[in-house]
Structure 1
């Protein structure tokens, strides 16, 4: 009887202990991200770019989707930050529908190189054809990530598909040359709604790296008051379209500061960010970037990150919220893994129990800043995406950071 009682108790607990991926939807509670079981979740991932001129995720001419996802999985990472351009969605909404891979590669790479790269993509990914569309590639990546128990965080990186970022690229701020604010919001709405079909989509970043435009392309003042008006309007739109996903809010100055948010400081005209005022307060997350690669003092990095937004993790914050470092990175071709910068972040993020996503996975880009088949020195993968660019850098860098975060 005792054995039977213990057996039945164990069987009753078994579904909880082996609860199946993805355990969605996710919510937040104070500083924590929680899955549907109430278990803490920490983003431990990598950036997979898909916002360049072709507007499909990089590397598919060299490796299959499953092979690339397997490499991410081998590091025990649990998520990817998958970037996209609003232009991809403008094409769908305004220009006759989703663009085929054939047309996407021809437009971005030309009528000579475009067909060549397309055939390489199809060769490595035989489920694709010339008539496969951009968004169907995103669907395939999301599906493979789900198959390998990896979560997807979408990120609106640019409006116009191109390499990011500088202050004169026309994508810097609301109303800038290519940054049509209405198109941005409807694009976010479209992709958030589309993502309902992805069981592993847990979050979306509204915009990557707001920055002050160096030209006169924007009619809206570059300040926190404008940020609040536009970002909250976009967040409302996304939450209405897909109330299950988390919404990441990025800051100013290339997303290096969210300093007024943790303490609910005045944003201008008496406006303050008050998390408690949102009906979807349990869906809001802050994100920051850091590229202080030349830093010589770890304390300065840590103090800067804390004061620029990570203090929202503290129970004393007016707006206590999760904060994720969605971009940081360094060269994989030299000794940068042993720099003050790399070692500091590798220690500091796990010590905070804070999420992070390394920039970048990509060993190369279809095209970057006019150069086709661009070799990415910061990429974890080799140019042909076949393996790690530097095994020692990965072992001593992101792999060690994964272990520390999981611990």
Structure 2
């Protein structure tokens, strides 16, 4: 892929591995398997195409980079590493909107992102660019689902205040084949299942306001 990108100057970055799962982290220390294999990937891509940015997502589905606080990741590759994380309104956040209210839950959510991932921007030994590579929600119910609406507001307020680059999951309205099902609908997709219309213009406008 790094070689193919040479022929396409509009490709500026390659993700080293999407949403790594089930790599245990012990007491906040960097995990040697992540460092070893992600370093191999970064060096292989960089050797083939040194112009590309190398996007490194954290552990637990790109949810945690905390273990690199004390680690110099591929120190010989200068100004090419971008750290990435993904965040969704999952089981560890969604129930709190009702129990704790918006103010406390939004603070918890942003602290979670910053402490696990966003801190890379201020690393003393080597500050690095940070990308919120994915966040998203069910486009078919926004903004009627109050908890998703709270989640969207909290994340986008943070994006604005910190000037974070981000990606929204996702644009596709359906899949030709996924999880054993043909023409499977994608609830989080910005487009309708036939790809002919925007599913939720209000959500698109809200994203355009922070883009």
Q: Under TM normalisation by the shorter chain, which class is it?
A: 0.7 to 0.9
Structure 2 match to 1:285: 82
Distance 1:288 1:232 in 2: 17
| Distance in 2 separating the partners of 1:229 and 1:307 | 23
**1:93-117 CA deviation, whole Å, 9 max, x = no partner?**
xxxxxxxxxxxxxxxxxxxxxxxxx
Of residues 287, 303, 312, the one that matches 2:111 is 303
Task: Check if 1:348 corresponds to 2:158.
Answer: yes
SS at match of 2:45: helix
| Equivalent pairs, count | 191
CA RMSD after TM alignment? 1.7
Output the CA distance in 2 between the equivalents of 1:332 and 1:354: 22
* 1:274 corresponding residue in structure 2: 72
Which consecutive unaligned segments of at least 5 residues does structure 1 have? 1-190, 214-222, 265-272, 403-407
Report what 1:260 is aligned to.
67
1:239 aligns with 2:49: no
CA distance in 2, matches of 1:336, 1:242: 43
Indicate conservation of the 8 Å contact 1:249/1:284, yes or no: yes
More off after superposition, 364-373 vs 316-325: 316-325
| Residue ranges of structure 2 left out of the alignment (5+ in a row) | 24-29, 98-104
Is 1:390 aligned to 2:176, yes or no?
no
- Mapped partners of 2:10, 2:85: distance in 1: 23
CA distance in 2, matches of 1:317, 1:349: 22
What is the distance in 2 between the residues matched to 1:237 and 1:367? 32
Q: Decide which structure has the larger Cα Rg and report it.
A: 1
Partner of residue 27, structure 2: none
SS in 2 for 1:209: coil
Cross-structure match for 1:362: 172
For residue 317 of structure 1, what is the aligned residue in structure 2? Answer: 124
What residue is the counterpart of 1:69 in the other structure?
none
Q: Deviations over 1:50-108 (max 9, x none)?
A: xxxxxxxxxxxxxxxxxxxxxxxxxxxxxxxxxxxxxxxxxxxxxxxxxxxxxxxxxxx
1:311–1:317 Cα contact (<8 Å) kept = no
TM-score using structure 1 length? 0.45
Q: Deviations over 1:10-30 (max 9, x none)?
A: xxxxxxxxxxxxxxxxxxxxx
List per-residue Cα deviations over 1:366-403 (Å, max 9, x = no partner): 1111111111111001111112101122223x22221x
